[in-house]
Amino acid sequence: MRYVIPAVILGVLLIYFIFTGGDDDPSEIEAVFNEIIESVREKDEDGVLEHFSIHYQDEQGYNYLVIKKIVGDVFSKFDSLDASFGNISVSLSEDENEDKLAYTKVGVKAEGVRGGIPETLLGSDGSFDDIMVTLKKSTLGGWKIIEIEGVNKYGETGVY
């Protein structure tokens, strides 16, 4: 009996943390960006896309399928890719359905190399392009990108 009560309490706490995802920590958002950058460097399309919600919709009307095509096109057009981010700030809140949201302002740089020639995709020498990324906590606990604002280079560089 003396082990049953602590086991029940531990079980309830475990279930709570599994279904709520524990405390929300802005460093979880930074970890998402680190994983995306590693996937970009490895040209792992699935690794990048796993961080996008299938309900993605941005200010330009792009959805998940368009993002998937853009990522595939970029990966096929470049021999290698690199990216970095900085100046990240995260604001956590909830929407009307009590879903957890992270509004993230982040500076991003990305470069591709094609035929030995480097080409800047986002940012510039020594500076980041600031973008807004909205993420939603999925029911399984991971953060998924649902919108990106401020990337106006789709089509402008000719790589997309």
Cβ(47)–Cβ(38) under 8 Å? yes
Euclidean distance between the first and the last CA atom of the chain, given in angstroms as a whole number: 65
Percent of the chain scored above 90 by pLDDT?
A: 68
pLDDT interval class at 140 (50, 70, 90): confident
Work out the mean pLDDT of the chain and round it to a whole number.
Answer: 83
Taking residues 106-119, what's their average pLDDT? 96
CB atoms within 10 A of CB 18: 11
pLDDT value at residue 24: 55
CA 144 to CA 68: how far, in whole Å? 14
| % of the chain beyond a pLDDT of 70 | 79
DSSP assigned state of 141: S
15 vs 125, more confident: 125
**Residue 15 scores a pLDDT above 50:** no
pLDDT winner (highest mean) among 39-48, 93-102, 148-157: 39-48
- Please give the backbone phi and psi of residue 28, each rounded to the nearest 5 degrees, phi first: -65, -35
pLDDT tens-digit readout, 44-89: 999 999 999 999 999 889 999 999 999 999 999 999 999 999 999 9
- Helix ranges restricted to H, the chain: 4-20, 26-41, 45-49, 64-77
Residue among 87, 83, 64, 45 nearest 144 (CA): 64
pLDDT computed for residue 13 by the predictor: 38
For residue 152, the model assigns a pLDDT of 66
Q: Which residue has the tokens 């792992």?
A: 44
Tokens of 24: 């929300």
Q: Which domains does the chain have, with CATH numbers?
A: 24-149 (3.10.450.50)
Residue 24 CB coordination number (10 Å): 16
Report whether pLDDT(160) > 90. no
The DSSP secondary-structure symbol of 128 reads P
Q: How confident is the model at residue 125 (pLDDT cuts 50, 70, 90)?
A: confident
